[in-house]
Amino acid sequence: MGWSLLAVLALATLGFGQEICLSGEEDPYLLFGTKTAYIFANRGLPNNNRAHEVPGCQPVAFWMMNRHGSHNPEADEIEKLQNLTNLKNNIVNNYRGGNFRNNNQRICTSDFNLLERWEWNPRHNLTFAGDLTSDGYVSAQQLAQAWKQKYPGLFNDNRHNYLFKYADDRRSSTTFKAFSEGLFKSMADNYDLPKENDEKLLRPYKFCGAWNKSIEENPDTPSQRQIFESKQEYKDMVANVSLRLGFNYDIEADVVRSIYQMCRYNKAWDVTQISPWCAAFTREDLRRLEYAEDLDTYCKYGYGNELNKKVGCAYVKDMMSFFTKHVENELPQQPQVMVQFTEAASILMALGAMGTHEDTVPLTGDNYHTAPIQARKWASSTMSPFNANLAAVLYKCTLNGNYQINDQYQVLLLENEKPISLDWCRVGLCEWSQIVSKLGDIANSCDAEACNGATTVGRYVAVTMSLVFFAVLVV
Ligand SMILES: *[C@@H]1O[C@H](CO)[C@@H](O)[C@H](O)[C@H]1NC(C)=O
Ligand SMILES: *[C@@H]1O[C@H](CO)[C@@H](O)[C@H](O)[C@H]1NC(C)=O
Ligand SMILES: *[C@@H]1O[C@H](CO)[C@@H](O)[C@H](O)[C@H]1NC(C)=O
Ligand SMILES: *[C@@H]1O[C@H](CO)[C@@H](O)[C@H](O)[C@H]1NC(C)=O
């Protein structure tokens, strides 16, 4: 009796005990690149809730870029994700048929049960493709309330104190609506808030021929990601995921990406729910998938191409001209609050133009395992999660009120509500003179030259045009 019980226990330990249960992780890995939920993005970082209280200083102007919150699958993703239903059925067959190559590595019963119950939500169809989710909407409202609580004097009830700019898409305009409701509750509609749709400012890359040609349309742009995906360390991840789901062969890398996409969407739509698809991945798998996307954003919007800084300068210029107006005028200026509603690409380019998150070594497909890359600063998960925001607040100070500062004006730079670390500022707080010398130069040299420059044809046309113009004048 006693012996057989022991034997059962021993078998349980050897067999089922080693199945991997990933959905029930105590401390799951929740950094999912550009599809990370806002509250997961800054977990574990010191949250300096008092950063906005600068002794001896009053906030006088607020500038911010804001990314929309979580959204439904895009039109071009629906079919692939819907196809996970077939994959799920295959996994169920694998499990029921007991044809696992290695029982020790398969998903555990509770993970399997969750997955078996998963169904595609028919509301995720073309009609609602890409729309903001209710979580995305509420998060934007909550952010507006949080800013209002920190800066009640700036976020006041005077509509002339605001200027909102939003990109020409449904997500950005819906986010603007949510944000204004967060500020003014049900009164938001009555305020008729000043707003404009300035595509050139919000998405300068769309108007930059050189960027279009050398990055967007360049087939080499994703090459570092492709190198990484061709490496054994990435293939091992695909092999382990396949093994876990009971396949006798390695499933396609593209299918693994769909599983990942579903997993991270699920966690962004409802941060409290367990996603059955996330159970396919260990922490280390997720870190590799995250790096693959970091390689893409780094090359497309970041330091991976020099041009990105030159395009991103448009945001720095916007901020500088807004603040300069406030610094140069003795009397208070309106608006004091300027908020842009835009997308991840814009925020990444602005952060790059400001020189934040710059690593000492470039991100490449070959260096995933090196220490600097494991601790990299360029990380889409923390830079551009859903609801990402980049704020700059101008303060006017009385000089004897704070012995730590030298200038009458100070600028606090905040990324997702937390001070940005820049070596020429103190915990996000920067002297105006430093801002002028570091960011003012970037703003002043910001023009369309870099976008036209690439083509000699463009220059030739310009010269010809001015000659023609000159000739016309002379005649
Ligand atoms: C979805 O699955 C069907 C049937 O297996 C297949 O023909 C189709 O190519 C798949 N679509 C995508 C986008 O993977
Ligand atoms: C999407 O789903 C909604 C609600 O279920 C339905 O009213 C709508 O017609 C569907 N759209 C398409 C394109 O199938
Ligand atoms: C970008 O390049 C594509 C392909 O060459 C072209 O069709 C498109 O018009 C370009 N867009 C811009 C804004 O230059
Ligand atoms: C894949 O699984 C093996 C065996 O459990 C493990 O040693 C290896 O580290 C895993 N690889 C990855 C990329 O997680």
Q: What is the pLDDT of residues 246-260, one digit of tens each?
A: 998 999 999 999 999
Span 121-147, mean pLDDT?
Answer: 95
For residues 330 and 292, the answer to whether their CB atoms sit within 8 Å is no
CA of 39 to the centre of ligand 3 (A): 37
Which residue minimizes the CA distance to atom 11 of ligand 2? Answer: 127
CA of 276 to the centre of ligand 2 (A): 25
Ligand nearest the Cα atom of residue 131: 2
125 touches ligand 2 (CB under 6 Å): yes
Average pLDDT, the chain: 89
The pLDDT tens digits for 422-447 are: 999 998 999 999 999 999 999 999 98
The pLDDT tens digits for 62-87 are: 999 999 999 999 999 999 999 999 99
Sorting pLDDT into bands at 50, 70 and 90, what band is 47?
Answer: low
Does pLDDT of 5 surpass 60? no
Sorting pLDDT into bands at 50, 70 and 90, what band is 150?
Answer: very high
Sorting pLDDT into bands at 50, 70 and 90, what band is 410?
Answer: very high
Sorting pLDDT into bands at 50, 70 and 90, what band is 305?
Answer: very high
Element (H, E) at 65: strand 57-67
Given this model, what pLDDT does residue 2 score? Answer: 44
CA of 212 to the centre of ligand 3 (A): 6
282 touches ligand 4 (CB under 6 Å): yes
User: What percent of the chain is predicted at pLDDT more than 70?
Assistant: 89
Which residue minimizes the CA distance to atom 12 of ligand 1? Answer: 80
Given this model, what pLDDT does residue 346 score? Answer: 97
Phi-psi region of 155 (alpha: psi -120 to 50; beta: other; left: phi over 0): beta
CA of 80 to the centre of ligand 1 (A): 7
Span 48-62, mean pLDDT?
Answer: 90
Q: Which long-range contacts (CB under 8 A, 24 or more apart) does 189-192 make?
A: 191/159, 192/159
Give the pairing of strands 337-342 and 389-397: unpaired
Domains and CATH numbers, the chain: 33-69+135-223+304-474 (3.40.50.1240)
How many CA atoms lie within 13 Å of 299's alpha carbon, on the beta-carbon side?
21
Q: Which residues line ligand 1 (CB under 6 A)?
A: 79-80, 83, 86
Does pLDDT of 380 surpass 80? yes
Is the pTM value of this prediction over 0.85?
yes
Hey, what are 382's tokens? 């923390």
The position carrying tokens 């600068």 is: 54
Sorting pLDDT into bands at 50, 70 and 90, what band is 463?
Answer: very low
The pLDDT tens digits for 89-123 are: 999 998 888 766 666 678 889 999 999 999 999 99
Span 287-300, mean pLDDT?
Answer: 98
For 399, the 3-state DSSP assignment is helix
CA angle in degrees (0–180, nearest 5) for 39-377-32: 40
Question: Higher confidence at residue 216 or residue 197?
Answer: 216
Which residue minimizes the CA distance to atom 5 of ligand 4? Answer: 105
State how far the Cα of 74 lies from the Cα of 83, in Å rounded to an integer.
15
Given this model, what pLDDT does residue 186 score? Answer: 75
Given this model, what pLDDT does residue 44 score? Answer: 64
CA of 78 to the centre of ligand 2 (A): 13
Question: Higher confidence at residue 430 or residue 188?
Answer: 430
Q: Which residues of 286-301 are buried (b: 16+ CB within 10 A; e: fewer)?
A: bbbbbbbbbbbbbbbb
Which residue minimizes the CA distance to atom 4 of ligand 4? Answer: 240
212 touches ligand 3 (CB under 6 Å): yes
126 touches ligand 2 (CB under 6 Å): yes
Locate the ligand 1 atom nearest the alpha carbon of residue 79 and give its number: 13
Given this model, what pLDDT does residue 106 score? Answer: 83
Which of 241-245, 292-296, 463-467 bottoms out in mean pLDDT, i.e. has the lowest?
A: 463-467
Which of 197-201, 221-225, 354-358, 447-451 bottoms out in mean pLDDT, i.e. has the lowest?
A: 447-451
Which of 3-7, 206-210, 351-355, 360-364 bottoms out in mean pLDDT, i.e. has the lowest?
A: 3-7
